[in-house]
Amino acid sequence: MIVVRDINGFDFPRGTAVTIGTFDGLHLGHLKLIEKLVESARETSTECVLITFEPHPRTVISGTTGLKLLTTIDEKLNVLSRTEISKVWVINFTMEFAQTDFEDFVSEYLVKKLNARHLIVGYDHKFGHNRSGDKNKLSGLGLRYGFDVSVLDEVALGEKNISSTRIRTALLSGDVKAAAEMLGRNYSFTGKVAQGKGRGKSIGFPTANVEIADVNKLIPAPGVYLTACRIGDERHFGMMNIGYRPTFEHDGMIIPEVHIFDFDHEIYGADIEVEFISRIRDEKKFNSADELIAQINSDKETSQVLLTNLIN
């Protein structure tokens, strides 16, 4: 897979099968669309191209600083690298670009630059200035410019369709299992291990404070979670607490800190990826360090049971 920031200089004499979207989360609905895209490219002997945007269009158009991302651009590209897509074109989304009329986008980007032969979009896809382009208008432009348009129906899990909004809602309520079912993988974030105050170590449960790499990344609801941590080439299980640490202090700062099972290495400054497997409990305030230690021991026992069930 080739990541393209500037499409100029690339030629597509055989034409392309194309899809367009923000694809935040790259959930099972997105992956189903990509599967259809790859099939189309294979059947028509065209090149498979996915167009996405950076930064997220909503943060540019509405100035929504509170929008939290399910996938950063690096995470998105990492997931896409496991597919059979040939090229990912990452368009720099600016206010100027946001003014592009949908017909101009189709003629200038899809037709002239990509030589599109087949366009596949989701059932609710809209694009162009004021999101004025939809599947019906795309079909009309396809007839004019000579490319086919396919619209993928929603992909459901149970009785509800999968969406980035539903995944955000699940994570913000702490339901990481529901999020994982819709994503097709455990939700995760990356960051660096930062120096903390050493309180975990002082009570026998050393923790690694995680400074998340992207401030716009969504953090699951406060609470204690069973996690898997990747440091370098090694993967370890552990428990992560996300919260304000009310037993010791409450300065308004949410701090993700992870206790890694059977691990005794100095990792300050190391890159770390944390996957969320299951929620254990809400965050609590304890009256003493002894109460906290007893609860952590109970949490660890719960984690071991969950891990045994997971492995078996």
Domain shared by 228 and 287, yes or no: yes
Domain shared by 126 and 191, yes or no: no
- What is the extent of the structural domain holding 132? 2-161
Question: Given a cut of 80, is residue 267 above it in pLDDT?
Answer: yes
Q: Is residue 54 part of a domain?
A: yes
Which pair of structure tokens corresponds to residue 17? Answer: 């099968």
- Pairwise CA distance, residues 225 & 76, whole Å: 24
pLDDT category of residue 59 using cuts at 50, 70 and 90: confident
For residue 289, how far is the Cα from the chain centroid? 36
Question: Given a cut of 70, is residue 202 above it in pLDDT?
Answer: no
Question: Tokens 């009309």 appear where?
Answer: 140
Reported as a single tens digit per residue, the pLDDT across 226-237 is 999 999 999 999
Q: Is residue 259 part of a domain?
A: yes
Domain shared by 108 and 199, yes or no: no
Reported as a single tens digit per residue, the pLDDT across 60-79 is 877 666 788 999 999 999 99
Q: Which CATH number does the domain housing residue 104 bear?
A: 3.40.50.620
Confidence (pLDDT) at 122: 85
Pick from 21, 229, 47: which is nearest to 125 by CA?
A: 21
pTM for the full predicted model: 0.90
- Pairwise CA distance, residues 91 & 87, whole Å: 13
Domain shared by 19 and 121, yes or no: yes
Reported as a single tens digit per residue, the pLDDT across 129-159 is 666 667 788 888 999 999 999 999 888 888 7
